[in-house]
Amino acid sequence: MDPRAGQVAQPDDLIDVDQVVGAYYDIRPDVEDPAQQVAFGTSGHRGSSLDGAFNEAHIATITQAIVEYRALEGIDGPLFLGRDTHALSLPAWQTAMEVLAGAGVTVMIDARDAYTPTPAVSQSILIHNGAAAEGGVRTSGPGQADGIVVTPSHNPPRDGGFKYNPPHGGPADSEATRWIADRANDLLRAGGLSRVHRVSLDVAVAASTTHRHDYLSTYVDDLANVLDLDAIRESGVRIGADPLGGASVDYWGEIGERYGLDLTVVNPQVDPRWAFMTLDWDGKIRMDCSSPHAMASLVQAMRPDDGGSAPYDVATGNDADADRHGIVTPDAGLMNPNHYLAVAIQYLYGGARPDWPSTAAIGKTLVSSALIDRVAAGLDRRLVEVPVGFKWFVPGLLTGAVGFGGEESAGASFLRRDGRVWSTDKDGILLALLASEIIATTGRTPSQHHADLVARYGESWYARVDAPASREEKARLGALSPDQVASTSLAGQDITAKLTEAPGNGAAIGGLKVTTSDAWFAARPSGTEDVYKIYAESFVSADHLAEVQAEAKQVVSDALA
């Protein structure tokens, strides 16, 4: 823990925007260096221009690879292109435009020349492909649309990110991203920029294939079909929405005005340096709305120094592309993401969505809290436990087989009120507004509802620990097998399962999960950073959690030895 965690960033913490953008154009990546190759993690290619990991050559070749992938898959409809507020997002968006226009791809850009949240791109893809029609979404055949979002999500200001959403509207699966990454790296080896046909930005923007699309109105006008906004307005719930300098900044203001909500945009400032942010746990600026350190300013605003009442009934935060949510209540402060997911599931399946299919399952990632398992059992709903990555929820959300999909890192989405698909990517705006609906319809905060769940299912202690790991170490960790856990017990309890495949879909988890009746741990390498992660939870005590973590660390140490 950095001693300045939770404190406002100082000038020395801020990036030099000109330097970061200059490096994007000036540095030529060394494709023989694995750290400078194109590599898609759980949500796109990410890296910093300063490290030779996110540069013009990367984006040009990735975009060219996507053009070729579209042709291979017969995707000939429009491509919806959005970007967030990171310094590298505009240059990368411009490079992508030049390549897409050069290839004759029909591109839908923002009508306001503004920022576009990830969920708005997903929703626009799905609407084009039939989500609002009786026949359902088309993911094959002529005219189908797909999309690109230029964002590294909650990553620090020095980073850039680039992710592809195929016609199903959600994150591309591993097969697609592997093909795109391999083709992009082949192009880099063969000459990089010289292997990609592109036109100038002026020509690209003026091209007959480039069209303006009103992402904001498309998204905001449709929200009433997924949330009970009338109840929120009529109850007078006071909402404080903090975009954290991200792409949702204009959306929150429009939502408040369009639906007559008592909604205040807490901080409308956009600054690619994020000078107003408080530092995260490691002393870095990171727009992680699930972190109490990154959200310190909003949490403090809900606890006035003069001891008066909180200014809002609920305050919310989003990351830079608004695919994650943070929920702050007057009675509990920033909610643990796992706690809020469990509350949202109990609320939605407990009677708030009577028109959802009775067979709609609950989706969770295998590193999310086991409280969700207990809530699902109490609701008598099928639980689908999948590997880390929102892409695993896409098929179920698309068909309505899964009503809600959520992951422990504060990303989730759920169906429209009539049971049809809303978005197949994470929607932080949606989950933030759901907190207001819960208050409006029940008269109680999400944190109070969580206390009810604890009383019924027991209190748990949950933690994630990150530690540095080389690519070689990450590879060994990702290949862990049940045989490498010789013990039959974990922290004094009998082991009930040793998993290397997710029970919900049989997909490899890229690590190992060990469970008992009252505890579990999972160890896996990060897909986007050179670290490994140990997740653990105990329904016994904090001390018991520490025992679980100690034994989990030993398993990892043995694997990396």
Coil/strand/helix, residue 43: coil
**DSSP letter string, 262-331:** EEEES-----TT-TTPBP-TTS-----TT-TTTTHHHHHHTS-TT----S-SEEEEE-TTS--EEEEETT
Cα–Cα distances (Å) from 403 to 121, 365, 490, in that order, read 20, 14, 33
User: Taken in order 418, 424, 429, 431, is the CA torsion positive or negative?
Assistant: positive
Q: What are phi and psi of 329, to 5 degrees?
A: -115, 155
Q: How far apart are CA 521 and CA 496, in angstroms?
A: 12
Task: Write out the two tokens for 516.
Answer: 């008992």
Q: Would you say 246 and 271 are in contact if contact means Cβ atoms under 8 Å apart?
A: no
Query: Hey, how many other C-beta atoms are within 10 angstroms of the C-beta on 366?
Result: 25
The separation between the first and the last C-alpha atoms of the chain, rounded to the nearest angstrom, is: 26
Q: Is 297 exposed, middle or buried (0-12, 13-18, 19+ CB in 10 A)?
A: middle
Which one from 43, 153, 290, 369 is the annotated catalytic residue?
Answer: 153
Q: How far is CA 13 from the centre of its chain?
A: 25
Q: Would you say 323 and 119 are in contact if contact means Cβ atoms under 8 Å apart?
A: yes
In sequence order, the 6+-apart residues with CB closer than 8 A to the CB of 242 are: 265, 266, 267, 297, 298, 315, 316, 317, 318
Segment (H or E) for 105? none
Q: Is 208 a catalytic residue?
A: no
Coil/strand/helix, residue 60: helix
Q: How far apart are CA 110 and CA 95, in angstroms?
A: 16
Give me the sheet containing 262-265, strands edge to edge: 262-265, 238-242, 314-318, 325-329, 333-334
**DSSP letter string, 220-272:** HHHGGGTS-HHHHHHHT-EEEEE-TTSTTHHHHHHHHHHHT-EEEES-----T
Instruction: Please name the residue that has the structure tokens 């705006």.
Output: 429
- The candidate with the shortest Cα–Cα distance to 397, out of 388, 406, 410, 387, is 406
Cα–Cα distances (Å) from 196 to 13, 24, 46, 102, 520, in that order, read 36, 17, 21, 9, 48
Q: What angle do CA 435, 440, 441 make, to 5 degrees?
A: 100
- The candidate with the shortest Cα–Cα distance to 507, out of 175, 164, 163, is 175
Q: Would you say 453 and 501 are in contact if contact means Cβ atoms under 8 Å apart?
A: no
Q: How many CA atoms within 13 Å lie on the side-chain side of 52?
A: 12
The residues facing 326 across adjacent strands are 317
Q: Which residues are catalytic?
A: 153
